[in-house]
Amino acid sequence: MQILTVANQKGGVGKTTTSVTLGGIAAAEGQRVLLVDLDPHGSLSCYFGKDPDRLTESVYRIFEQRKTLSRALVQQYILPTAYKNMALLPASTALATLERQAIGDGMGLVLHRSLLFLQQQFDLVVIDCPPQLGVLMVNAIAACSQLIIPVQTEFLAIKGLERILHTLTMMNKTRARPLQYLIVPTLYDRRTQASVTSLRTIRNNYGDYVWPGKIPIDTRLRDASKAGVPPHLFDDTTRGFQAYQSLYRSVDQAPLTAACNIGGA
Ligand SMILES: Nc1ncnc2c1ncn2[C@@H]1O[C@H](COP(=O)(O)OP(=O)(O)OP(=O)(O)O)[C@@H](O)[C@H]1O
Ligand SMILES: [Mg+2]
């Protein structure tokens, strides 16, 4: 079972779009995919008609019952979706309360321990993170085998990147093997100087850690999120979606370009 985490503490950079699109592509190829929504806002859950304000049964309940985790307990919160090969561990707004809790007491490994029960059930797990460096993101990073960091091609992006890479360096000290990660330039608009310049800066600064492609601005991806339909079923002909297909191939045919130590920016 491959576990991909999509994270960046900066908001609106394409984390949820990346999660649902990569998950959808894998599902269309016949992989059994579990999407995990760790964002209290529940944008990922909304793609599957789940309203995080109304859900009481969500991944939050797993955190709540972390002292008595079992396979049956975890499975209880996994929902089937209307789409083939896609299951969802949804978010609820209650997740926000976890961010105030301390990471001690085994709290950072709840998701890792939960996913271990699902090894035979899924081929790919994709975890979508909230835009916050807190206990939920720490759980997602501790649980995954590969990390994708979407970075918007705009001037402020680089600062955010430094922060998340610092967190990774800290977390890597407790991992047996350093985590693979890949920076994915998103929302690229070749007509704007800001996009062109910041993409160049990201590549210059982070070299091999950056996916060689880029995800362009594509209004059809936005339309898909408005319609609440995973992009692979909404419109699979657009440039944005095709860029994600190419990203999927880079990730699926691991090793990632940056299969090495963190911190070498
Ligand atoms: N390549 C793209 N082209 C056009 N619109 C996009 C693209 N990627 C994402 N969007 C749109 O931008 C908005 C933010 O994207 P998304 O929700 O994926 O970001 P996020 O990082 O998950 O945000 P948050 O931090 O709030 O969770 C959404 O409306 C989404 O549809
Ligand atoms: Mg999101």
pLDDT tens per residue, range 131-158: 998 999 999 999 999 999 999 999 888 7
CB 117, CB 75: distance < 8 Å: yes
Ligand 1 pocket mutation pick from 215, 225, 238, 247 by most atoms within 8 angstroms of CB: 225
Average pLDDT of the residues in 10-21: 97
Q: 257 in a domain, yes or no? A: no
Enclosing domain of residue 23 = 2-252
What was the pLDDT predicted at 101?
A: 77
Q: 259 in a domain, yes or no? A: no
pLDDT tens per residue, range 86-97: 999 999 999 999
> 221: Cβ below 6 Å to ligand 1?
yes
Q: 262 in a domain, yes or no? A: no
Instruction: Select from 231, 263, 235 the least CA-distant residue to 24.
Output: 231
* Number of domains forming the structure of the chain: 1
pLDDT tens per residue, range 111-130: 999 999 999 999 999 999 99
Q: What is the CATH number of the domain that holds 199?
A: 3.40.50.300
CB 104, CB 64: distance < 8 Å: no
Taken as a whole, the chain contains a residue count of: 265
Instruction: Select from 57, 36, 34, 18 the least CA-distant residue to 250.
Output: 18
Q: 263 in a domain, yes or no? A: no
Structure tokens at 142: 């501790």
> 49: Cβ below 6 Å to ligand 1?
no
